[in-house]
């Protein structure tokens, strides 16, 4: 029987297995990973470090890409206090996100029951530091910020990254590494937006503006598309968009409550 005559499932079974942890497809920007055996799937879901340590790729909210990990290591090298293993780093796409992460970590320390493994809330607050890693082009389109934090808060910081969705993509990390002068090996992939921007005359924000215009063309009435930049917001992940909507809803609810009490006033607008 010819292979083309096989069912899709049969053809799939004839494909050579990809080793555990290898990216699918084999690309530095891949967000899927090979878990070839059912026991690998179960082990991943149960947090088996033997499985997780093999992953070279994965969904960005759950697995730091190699480029993001490399950039975090570089930030620890440049901004850290030399306390190897006792300090961690989390990358965020804006200063607002970095400051929000610090607020989250402070609240985490305040609200957790006494735990000798966690730092004292006052000490944790003093230990959190925010650094701008790169400007990310003329309009800050690909800027990166780093939060340096005590090692015991690493899991809490990862929870913020995962559930807030305000992550740094592999391509944004690649652009930052390029901006910082780090040479990298690439496997059949575009290098980064910094290189791709050459086709736009070095304008890093041009691809983002085109995407905003495209979304506006699909979602807005014809007469409103000229104001696309005012009404279309791009976020680094779907979860980040959900989190932004939640914060907006809370802010509006607070304003409504203030008006009911006769307080009036204007709310502060924070942009990602």
**Cα–Cα distance, 132 to 77 (Å, whole number):** 14
**Cα–Cα distance, 24 to 31 (Å, whole number):** 7
pLDDT for position 174: 87
Paired with 90 in beta bridges are: 147
Which two structure tokens, joined as six digits, stand for 38?
């059912």
Kindly report, residue by residue over 48-86, the tens digit of the pLDDT. Answer: 999 988 988 888 888 898 899 999 999 999 998 876 668
Q: What is the pLDDT along the chain (272 residues), one digit of tens a residue?
A: 455 666 665 655 555 578 898 888 888 888 888 998 999 999 999 989 999 889 888 888 888 988 999 999 999 999 988 766 688 999 999 999 999 999 999 888 887 766 676 666 666 667 899 999 988 665 556 789 999 998 888 999 999 999 999 999 988 898 888 888 876 655 444 544 445 555 555 566 777 788 888 888 888 777 776 666 677 888 888 899 999 999 899 999 888 887 777 655 444 444 45
pLDDT for position 88: 92
pLDDT for position 83: 64
pLDDT for position 27: 82
**Cα–Cα distance, 29 to 6 (Å, whole number):** 32
**Cα–Cα distance, 29 to 149 (Å, whole number):** 27
Question: Strand ranges (DSSP E) for 111-243?
Answer: 129-134, 144-150
> In Å, what is the CA distance from 24 to each residue of 10, 21, 153, 193?
20, 9, 31, 21
- Where is 23: in which H helix or E strand? strand 23-24
HSE of 174 in the Cβ direction (CA atoms, 13 Å)? 18
**Is cis: bond before 25, omega within 30 of 0?**
yes
Q: What is the dihedral of CA 43, 44, 49, 54, to 10 degrees?
A: 110
**Cα–Cα distance, 65 to 171 (Å, whole number):** 10
**Cα–Cα distance, 248 to 263 (Å, whole number):** 19
3-state helix, strand, coil in the chain (%, to 5): 50, 10, 40
């Amino acid at each position: 029987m010819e292979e083309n005559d096989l069912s899709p499932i049969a053809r799939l079974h004839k494909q050579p297995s990809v080793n555990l942890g290898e990216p699918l497809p084999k690309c530095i920007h891949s967000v899927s990973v090979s878990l070839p055996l059912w026991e690998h799937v179960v082990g991943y879901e149960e947090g088996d470090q033997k499985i997780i340590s093999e992953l070279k790729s994965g969904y960005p909210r759950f697995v730091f890409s190699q480029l993001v990990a490399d950039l975090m290591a570089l930030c620890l090298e440049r901004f850290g206090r030399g306390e190897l293993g006792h300090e961690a780093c989390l990358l965020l796409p804006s200063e607002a996100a970095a400051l929000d992460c610090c607020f989250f970590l402070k609240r985490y320390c305040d609200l957790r029951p006494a735990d000798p493994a966690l730092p004292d809330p006052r000490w944790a607050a003093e230990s959190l530091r925010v650094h701008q890693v790169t400007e990310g082009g003329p309009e800050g389109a690909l800027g990166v910020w780093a939060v340096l934090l005590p090692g015991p808060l690493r899991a809490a910081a990862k929870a913020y990254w995962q559930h807030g969705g305000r992550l740094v993509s592999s391509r944004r990390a690649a652009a930052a590494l390029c901006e910082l002068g780090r040479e990298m090996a690439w496997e059949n992939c575009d290098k980064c937006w910094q290189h791709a921007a050459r086709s736009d005359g070095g304008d890093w924000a041009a691809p983002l503006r085109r995407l905003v215009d495209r979304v506006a063309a699909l979602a807005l009435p014809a007469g409103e598309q000229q104001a696309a930049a005012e009404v279309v917001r791009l976020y680094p992940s779907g979860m980040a968009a959900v989190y932004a909507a939640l914060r907006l809803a809370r802010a509006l609810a607070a304003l409504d409550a203030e008006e009911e009490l006769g307080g009036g006033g204007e709310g502060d607008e924070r942009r990602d």
